[in-house]
Structure 1
Amino acid sequence: MLSVTNLTKTRITKFLLISAGLCIGHSVFALENVALQLNWKHQFQFAGYYASTDMLPRNFSPDGFLSNDHSVDLLWIYRSLAIALLLLVSISAVAVYIYRRFSQSLKELETINRREHARNQALELLAKGASLTEILDAVVKSVEAKDARALCSILLMDPDGKRLNVGSAPSLPSFYRTAIDGLEIGPNAGSCGTTAYSGKRTIVENILTHPCWTSYKELAAEAGLGSCCSEPILSVTGKVLGTFAVYHHEAYKPSDADIRLIERSAHLAGIVIEKIQNARALQQSHDLLVKISAEVPGIIFQFRMYPDGRCCFPFISEAVRKMYGLAPADIREDATPFFGFRHPEDAGRLAASMQESVRNLTRWHIEYRLILPGQGTRWRLGDAHPEKLEDGSILWHGFITDITDRKNAEERIRHMAQYDALTDLPNRALFSDRLQQALAVAKREQTHLALLFMDFDKFKPVNDTLGHAIGDVLLKRAAVRMQRCVRESDTLARIGGDEFVVLLPAIETEQDAIVVAEKIRVALEKPFDIDGHVLAISSSIGIAMYPEHGGDEIELSKNADLSMYYAKQNGRNTVMVYHHEMKVVGQ
């Protein structure tokens, strides 16, 4: 067997593998280690030898038998193969590394997906209004699903901060759950009691040998529990809300991955617990506010106005149903319906008062009217204090109360002060006020007005013979007749006894005043039938004109009264207009 490598163009050749039968006068060692100059002679010698032994055909050409310019360099081939093998090994190593990293990434992604799924499931249950127990059970089961050997529990801190109550422990034996429900916290109160007491993680690899389980070893052994790792559940402020624990049946040391899982689960449980506890506290506060507001007359409210003009009632008491005919839910998001009942005459004042409160952040205080279906006009008093929020909104806290009865009482008092109690006509005080206003207008606009003074004829005998009750009825009916004779813009007033006055503003001539006076006189001379008594009276009426007969209330009233006196003196049941001769005679 022979292998020859062509080293150079000078045909220097080295044998790599030699059969003993091919040595031909050379030792194997010599041929292995010595480069020979092979010439045509050597080739013929080798070829002749092979032909004599019938190893080659006798007509075989020895040219290039051992060496030629196209011989294959086996060393180069071996080197190439070695390089290729090295590249293949390198590529394989890179592929294995990439595969391992990809597998690790897939596992991490799967872990993240499981974690997010558990988180999303808990938050979805929270959004749907599920109970705290349902949500905590879901959190616990998601952890147990990742490790079939794990048994988890969530214990909740009692409001007094001294005990733990079972929130969720679906895989623990029922007797064990009962035993740890109401567990008093302390430095050696098992893993969870110790964690709740210290606010720090407690890892117990072997329950039987750990000092904090001394009082609970038998209970744990009966439940088949060998280890327990407990993580505190904290609020955003660091307050201990409870504990999250992972048990194993055998002694067990949690890995770093186990610790991370417990931390994340405790954090998720903390979010859920705090949100539900805050919601409960808010609901309790709301319920308390509702109870208190139900005992308070009127509406208690929180009103918010956004920078874009939108308005809502974050809170408004149930009294809004009675006072506005609206349910709180109807205006909680949009307050528009609340403003639909404003009295047209008060709408402008209401808007202005609100704008001033917004502009100056001053107290909103106003009395206003509503027109409510089935109730008519009602009075309300609103009072609230504003504050500006970070987003630019204005938030008012205040109340609205029904002041209809008070306003009606005030109106009655005002009416009594300005109107005659018997005839319900304006009295002397109100008439004086209206006369002064009419005079001011007449002076400004240079117009005329007339003042009529009237006194009933033969009224005293009615009172004397039939009594004041009949006399009062007569006065009321007479007032009704006179009222029908004047315009709505005119004022008919009773100033005492059977004396009445009429103010005729914006009248053109003296004759116009006489026409009205005659209508009254004729209306009064018709008989009155009162309780079977036919009563006949008449009236004496005096007229004074502005500005001809007086420039102010005193002078005008004096002259109208004087002309009435002359009417009585001149036969009664007549109308007389003031003139200066009366004044002379009167004096």
Structure 2
Amino acid sequence: DLRVYDNQAVYTACGAAAHSGEILIAEDLYTHPNWQAYRELVDLASIRSCWSIPIKDAGQRVLGSFGIYQRQPAKPDQTFTEKMQVFSNLAELAISRFNSAEKIRHMAFYDELTGLANRRLLNERLQQALATSRRSNRFGALLFLDLDNFKPVNDVYGHKTGDALLTAFASRLQQLVRQTDTVARLGGDEFIILLVELEPDAASARQQVEQLLEKVCRALAKPFMLDTPEQLVFNCHCSIGLSLYHGATDTADELLKRADQAMYQAKQLTGTQVCWSNDVNIAAPALATTPFTP
């Protein structure tokens, strides 16, 4: 992003070129008005002139600028000015290719609607989390969340409203976790929270998860006021299945399966409900049902 100032005097040659979108030639930095505040830097760098050109994309949006400095006062001739334009075009091509690659990468690993990690990125994070757990001997946890009765929202109010609710739901989840944790959307109304680097004993790790659960349930108990023309308000419930993991004994598929099964156990109940899975080799209650009442 480019910073834009009202006072052009704060710009040196490159800044002025980016601001104006035009080539700027400072033949002598000692006399050019934009460089008067930087005379000490000019002397320190032993430069006396600067030729700057903006870098623009195909839509003429300024992406940046670059400058060529000389140790003596100078002005480019027509041939060199044309070369500067070639340099700018090459720089734009490189930037555009980089941005395209980043966009493709984002599309490959992030959910288009919510911006959360998608299934592919979740699988990578799961593998990393299990490997880290093996090395650190610490527990982690996976929460499988499914919005209850979401289909009628799409059927009655339309998919735009459903998308708005999913986006609001995802945003609320994202605000509750640590930066090291991952919130992902598997698809539809199914979401995952992957917690990493919990305590090294199962009881303490479970306590950490329950603390997060309380925050999740309280956050989801608040109405969702959607930014739609109708300004609709929804009260949501979800079913949550949980599973602790330990890298020495677990695989990603097993972990997801256990949490999924626990989620369906919770779904048999009413309201926002939580069920722990029967975690093999981990001292945690099997399918322990934890109802939540806001």
TM range (shorter): 0.5 to 0.7
Distance 1:549 1:578 in 2: 18
Task: Choose which of 556, 559, 565 in structure 1 pairs with 2:255.
Answer: 556
Match of 2:221 among 505, 512, 525: 525
1:12-67 deviation line (CA, Å, top 9, x unaligned): xxxxxxxxxxxxxxxxxxxxxxxxxxxxxxxxxxxxxxxxxxxxxxxxxxxxxxxx
- The answer as to whether partners of 2:52 and 2:67 remain within 8 angstroms in 1 is no
Partner of residue 569, structure 1? 268
Higher relative contact order (CA 8 A, sep 6+): 2
1:447 to 138, 141, 164: 138
Counterpart-to-counterpart distance in 2, 1:416 and 1:548:
29
* Whole-Å separation in 1 of the counterparts to 2:163 and 2:248: 33
TM-score, normalisation: structure 2: 0.62
Deviation at 1:320, TM superposition (A): 7.0
- Alpha-carbon displacement from aligned partner over 1:171-205 (angstroms, at most 9, x marks no partner): xxxxxxxxxxxxxxxxxxxxxxxxxxxxxxxxxxx
> How far is the alpha carbon of 1:460 from its aligned partner?
1.5
1:469 aligns with 2:165: no
Find the residue that maps to 2:171 and give its secondary structure.
helix
Q: Distance in 2 between matches of 1:574 and 1:402?
A: 53
In structure 2, distance between residues paired with 1:401 and 1:528: 43
The answer for the alignment partner of 1:487 in structure 2 is 178
Residue 324 to residue 537, structure 1, CA distance change in 2 (3 Å) = closer
**Residue 542 of structure 1 contacts residue 576 of structure 1 at CA under 8 Å; is this kept in 2?**
yes
Equivalent residue letter for 2:253: I
CA distance in 2, matches of 1:467, 1:541: 25
Aligned 8 A contact 2:238 2:273 in 1: yes
Q: Quick one: structure 1 residues 461 and 547, their matched pair in 2 at CA, closer, same or farther if it must change by over 3 Å? A: same
Match of 1:516 among 201, 204, 212: 212
Give the aligned residue type for 1:327: I
Distance 2:143 2:220 in 1: 15
Over 3 Å counting, the alpha-carbon distance change for 1:479 and 1:453 in structure 2 is same
Aligned to 2:119: 428
The runs of 5 or more residues in structure 1 that have no matched partner are: 1-316, 333-379, 381-398, 583-587
Q: Distance in 1 between matches of 2:158 and 2:246?
A: 42
Query: Equivalent residue for 2:19?
Result: none
Q: What per-residue deviation string (whole Å, max 9, x for no partner) do you get for residues 261-295 of structure 1?
A: xxxxxxxxxxxxxxxxxxxxxxxxxxxxxxxxxxx
> Residues 415, 548 of structure 1: CA spacing in aligned structure 2 closer, same or farther, 3 A cutoff?
closer
Kindly indicate whether residue 64 of structure 2 is the aligned counterpart of residue 327 of structure 1: no
- Kindly provide the amino acid, as one letter, of the partner of residue 454 in structure 1: L
1:461, CA displacement in angstroms?
1.5
- Closer, same or farther: CA 455–462 of 1 in aligned 2, 3 Å: same
SS in 2 for 1:507: coil
- Check the 8 A contact 1:525/1:539 in 2, yes or no: no
For residues 292-331 of structure 1, what are the structure 2 equivalents within 5 Å?
Answer: 325-330=66-71
Offset at residue 501 of structure 1 (A): 0.1
The runs of 4+ residues in structure 1 deviating greater than 6 Å are 317-321
The answer as to whether partners of 2:239 and 2:273 remain within 8 angstroms in 1 is yes
Write the deviation string for residues 431-479 of structure 1: whole angstroms up to 9, x where unpaired: 1101111111110111111111000112122111111110100000111
Counterpart AA for 1:469: K
CA contact (8 A) 1:420 1:426 kept: yes
Q: 1:420 Cα shift?
A: 0.5
Q: Counterpart of 2:269 in structure 1: which amino acid?
A: N
Is 1:460 aligned with 2:151?
Answer: yes
Sort the Cα spacing of 1:330 and 1:411 in 2 relative to 1 into closer, same or farther, 3 A: farther
Is the 8 Å Cα contact of residues 425 and 493 (structure 1) preserved in structure 2?
A: yes
Q: Distance in 1 between matches of 2:235 and 2:256?
A: 28
Q: Are positions 1:546 and 2:245 aligned together?
A: yes
1:579 match: secondary structure? coil
Alpha-carbon distance between aligned partners in 2 of 1:538 and 1:414, rounded to the nearest angstrom: 33
In structure 2, relative to structure 1, the CA distance for the partners of 1:559 and 1:548 (3 Å cut) is farther
Alignment gaps of 5+ in structure 2: 1-49, 56-63, 74-87, 200-204, 280-285, 288-294
**TM-score, length-scaled by structure 1:** 0.32
8 Å CA contact 1:418–1:429 kept in 2: the answer is: yes
Shift in Å at residue 518 of structure 1?
2.6
Q: Secondary structure at the match of 1:511?
A: helix
1:548 shift after superposition? 9.0
The residue matched to 1:326 in structure 2 has which SS?
strand
Alignment root-mean-square deviation, CA: 2.8
Q: CA deviation at 1:400?
A: 6.7
| CA 1:405–1:320: 2 relative to 1, 3 Å | same
Q: CA deviation at 1:483?
A: 0.9
CA distance in 1, matches of 2:187, 2:233: 24
Question: In the alignment, is the contact (CA less than 8 A) between 2:134 and 2:248 conserved in 1?
Answer: no
Deviation at 1:325, TM superposition (A): 3.8
How do residues 94-133 of structure 1 correspond to structure 2 at under 5 angstroms?
Answer: none
* Matched residue type, 1:326: G
Tell me, yes or no, if the aligned pair for 2:133 and 2:248 is still in contact at 8 Å: no
